[in-house]
Amino acid sequence: MKFIKENWKGILLCIGLAVPASLLGGQFPVIGGPVFAILAGMTLAPLVKRYEPFGAGIKFTSKKILQYAVVLLGFGMNLEVVMQTGKQSLPIIICTITTSLVIAYILHRALDIPGNISTLVGVGSSICGGSAIAATAPVIDADEEEVAQAISVIFLFNILAALTFPALGAAIGFSTTSGEAFGIFAGTAVNDTSSVTAAASTWDSIYHLGTQTLDKAVTVKLTRTLAIIPITLVLAVRRARKAESENGGKISLRQVFPFFILFFIGASVITTVAVAAGVPAEVFLPMKDLSKFFIVMAMGAIGLQTDVVKLIKSGAKPILMGLSCWIGITLVSLGLQHVMNIW
């Protein structure tokens, strides 16, 4: 009862933001529900910060609900299907992720960009946008403004990719009778799932390919999402060692270990085993949809805790980093596909 009394107002406010944001995200997938939610939260932040009763629930949503969203995301992952159909794209995925993380690290050192923002932009660019940021933020103990900054950067290049990649694919000679090449390109070079879907669906629509491109792009994207697991575990170990060196004492890995990632893996295994045993994959769709809604809720909560003025003032360097990661991923994806004779 104490938990409900302290948190219900803030949680209800976040739900109130998430419902219209999710509906708008469905109408405008190139933008997506999380972006609408975070923008709405930022708009209301100056007003809401005056009312202390909202604070606890908003904080709970931005931290815990975000972790629950990542766990539920696992129910959308049939590992057997992902690994079978993702083999072809795996070398490209590994190289694009490595490229983005290396670029982010170099610019972090060269431009003195804060470590947490650099990590979030690098991981968000290389893996799966908002979902990767949602998984990584608790592990590195990123604050709300750092998450908002990273989400804003990812959103900018999601929009650009979704709008320009179909024209780019046609210009460089992707096959218009098959969705394979563009599907792999969208799945490896576009950040967020909503924009991957938008770009792939556009290609299918232009060239009357049904859902060929979309199916390929989403499968590649799911394969990419699995990189959340090793990256968050490595970041947890790194954080523990950093804390040890700074504090001069031994820090237990248990204190910083992202246990919610284990639940994410467990959810993926449950889905995989259940589908192999004959359970229809559609059974798990409500959990996948709930995961998306929780992410929208959490982004609304993050927006409510964000200082917009400070965000704008500190935005130039993270945008440059996002641009560099985006260009690097795009070039590596195209180059490897060419070498592998996919186009």
Question: Which of 14-18, 239-243, 262-266, 324-328 shows the lowest mean pLDDT across its residues?
Answer: 239-243
Sequence letter at residue 324: S
Quickly list DSSP for 217-250. Answer: HHHHHHHHHTTHHHHHHHHHHHHHHHHHHHHSS-
Distance of alpha carbon 342 from alpha carbon 87, whole angstroms: 13
| Three-class DSSP category at 210 | coil
pLDDT digits (tens, 9 = 90+) for 319-341: 999 999 999 999 999 999 999 98
How high does pLDDT run on average in the chain? 87
pTM exceeds cut of 0.75: yes
Q: 121 falls in which pLDDT band (50, 70, 90)?
A: very high
Residue 317 lies in a domain: yes
Model pLDDT, residue 214:
86
Kindly give the residue spans of alpha helices, DSSP state H, lying in the chain: 2-27, 33-48, 55-60, 66-73, 79-86, 90-111, 115-126, 130-140, 144-172, 180-189, 193-207, 212-225, 228-247, 253-256, 259-276, 285-304, 308-313, 316-339
Distance of alpha carbon 306 from alpha carbon 187, whole angstroms: 31
Model pLDDT, residue 331:
96
Region 157-163: mean pLDDT is: 85
Residue 186 lies in a domain: yes
Region 135-141: mean pLDDT is: 88
Residue 17 lies in a domain: no
What does DSSP assign to residue 23? H
Question: Which of 26-30, 75-79, 217-221 shows the lowest mean pLDDT across its residues?
Answer: 26-30
pLDDT digits (tens, 9 = 90+) for 29-68: 767 788 899 889 989 988 887 777 888 999 899 888 988 9
Domain that holds residue 194: 74-290+311-339
Region 106-119: mean pLDDT is: 93
Q: How many domains does the chain have?
A: 1
Residue 268 lies in a domain: yes
Angle between helices 316-339 and 115-126 (to 10 degrees): 30
| Percent above pLDDT 90 for the chain | 38
Residue 272 lies in a domain: yes
Model pLDDT, residue 109:
94
Region 222-238: mean pLDDT is: 87
Residue 22 lies in a domain: no
Interacting residues of 175 by C-beta distance below 8 A, sequence separation 6+: 181, 182, 343
pLDDT digits (tens, 9 = 90+) for 280-303: 988 998 998 898 899 899 889 988
Beta-carbon count within 10 A of 188 CB: 28
Q: 171 falls in which pLDDT band (50, 70, 90)?
A: very high
Model pLDDT, residue 255:
64
Residue 205 lies in a domain: yes
Residue 306 lies in a domain: no
Contact 273, 265 (CB under 8 A): no
Contact 261, 70 (CB under 8 A): yes
pLDDT higher than threshold 90 for residue 243: no
Q: 85 falls in which pLDDT band (50, 70, 90)?
A: low
